[in-house]
Amino acid sequence: MKQQLLLRYLVVLAVLASLVGCTAAQNKTAVVPPPAVPEWQFHSIVDAQFVMDHATMPMAENVMIIDARPYKPKYVNGHIPAAISIPDSQFDKQVTLLPQDKNALLIYYCGGLACKLSHKSAKKAEKLGYTNVKVFAEGFPKWKKTPGNYVSVSVDHVAAALDKNQAVIVDARPKKPKFDKGHIPTALSIPFTYFDEYKGKLPRDTNTPLIFYCGGTACKLSHKSAKAALALGYTNVNVFSQGYPEWKKTIVPIIRWI
């Protein structure tokens, strides 16, 4: 009998020791400190969905998305739609581009998690008294990889793509009278209102770079067409947001001069 009691006592001790060991292991895991936040990181970080919710066309008056990367070649060759370019290195010189309303939402971004430019600019804006400043830390690389997103490009990029035959350019305006009165050379006429009817004009290779444009920053047709192309499975979709007015103002005089 004594031996049986002793045996049971030892079993209980073994179980208790096992429980204590598990608890200690759990406690040890729980107290692992979180990764240190870099000193240069801004305090208010947002994700891609937050930016997508605010990258509307046209942009709301109290919202501004700001690209802190160098204008050339970064911004020119691709940026978040409706974003303006204020490189961090030019912050003081271009500070007048910021909205007068200090409560406006400012969303800064640059080249990804290792890029400090957007964080630096956000801190500068906050020092100026802006109260609703955010940083999209994952930046432009994350924007491009997020399904359903397209990229805006500048007039210099369109001209280079045309010169090197690196993209299919699509005019989303009505053919009559807009396209027939003038358009970017080689552009296809696929008015958004007839997109489903004329989508067969698009290249079969869905990896082909596409650049849609229409009548300027207030025109939504190119953006709607870009979304329609994404829905068809095209993977390299771009919008020249400034459109034909910017092409006439910037490139046509150069062509005539040459």
Q: Could you report the per-residue pLDDT of 184-222, keeping only the tens digit for each?
A: 999 999 999 999 999 999 999 999 999 999 999 999 999
**Domain-located, residue 96:** yes
Distance (Å, whole) CA 151 – CA 161:
15
**77, 153 contact by CB (below 8 A):** yes
**Domain-located, residue 65:** yes
Same domain, residue pair 74 and 131: yes
**Domain-located, residue 30:** no
Same domain, residue pair 123 and 161: no
For residue 156, the enclosing domain spans 151-257
Last residue of some domain: 145, 169, 204?
145
Indicate if the pLDDT at residue 258 is higher than 50: no
Same domain, residue pair 61 and 106: yes
Domain count, the chain: 2
Strands 188-189 and 168-171: parallel
Angle at 114 between CA 109 and CA 117, to 5 degrees: 45
Last residue of some domain: 126, 145, 164?
145
pTM for the whole thing?
A: 0.81
> Residue 184: what pLDDT?
97
Residue 168 main-chain phi, psi, to 5 deg: -95, 120
Same domain, residue pair 217 and 132: no
Same domain, residue pair 90 and 58: yes
Using alpha carbons, select from 79, 222, 224, 218 the residue that is nearest to residue 152: 79
**Domain-located, residue 25:** no
**For the residues of 4-47, what is the DSSP string, one character each?**
HHHHHHHHHHHHHHHHHHHHHHHHHHHTPPPPPPPTTS-S-B--
Q: Which residues pair with 66 in a beta bridge?
A: 84, 108
> Residue 37: what pLDDT?
75
> Residue 58: what pLDDT?
80
Higher pLDDT residue, 1 or 168?
Answer: 168
Same domain, residue pair 176 and 83: no
**Domain-located, residue 33:** no
Same domain, residue pair 175 and 88: no
Tens digit of each residue's pLDDT (9 = 90 or more) over 147-167 = 999 999 999 999 999 999 999
CATH of the domain at 61: 3.40.250.10
Same domain, residue pair 64 and 140: yes
> Residue 38: what pLDDT?
82
Distance (Å, whole) CA 140 – CA 75:
10
Indicate if the pLDDT at residue 31 is higher than 80: no
**Domain-located, residue 10:** no
Tens digit of each residue's pLDDT (9 = 90 or more) over 77-112 = 999 999 999 999 999 999 999 999 999 999 999 999
Indicate if the pLDDT at residue 17 is higher than 90: no
Long-range Cβ contact pairs of 204-209 (< 8 A, separation 24 or more): 206/232, 206/233, 206/234, 206/235, 207/234, 207/235, 207/236, 208/167, 208/168, 208/234, 208/236, 209/161, 209/166, 209/167, 209/168, 209/236, 209/238
Same domain, residue pair 134 and 216: no
Higher pLDDT residue, 183 or 252?
Answer: 183
Measure the CA dihedral 7/9/10/13, to 10°. Answer: 160
Average pLDDT over residues 30-58: 86
Same domain, residue pair 57 and 128: yes
> Residue 74: what pLDDT?
97
**Domain-located, residue 38:** no
Last residue of some domain: 129, 145, 161?
145
What is the residue-averaged pLDDT of the chain? Answer: 89
> Residue 251: what pLDDT?
84
Same domain, residue pair 101 and 80: yes
Indicate if the pLDDT at residue 141 is higher than 50: yes
Classify residue 72 by its DSSP letter: I
Extended beta strands in the chain, E state = 63-67, 84-85, 105-109, 132-136, 151-152, 168-171, 188-189, 210-213, 237-240
Same domain, residue pair 172 and 110: no
**Domain-located, residue 36:** no
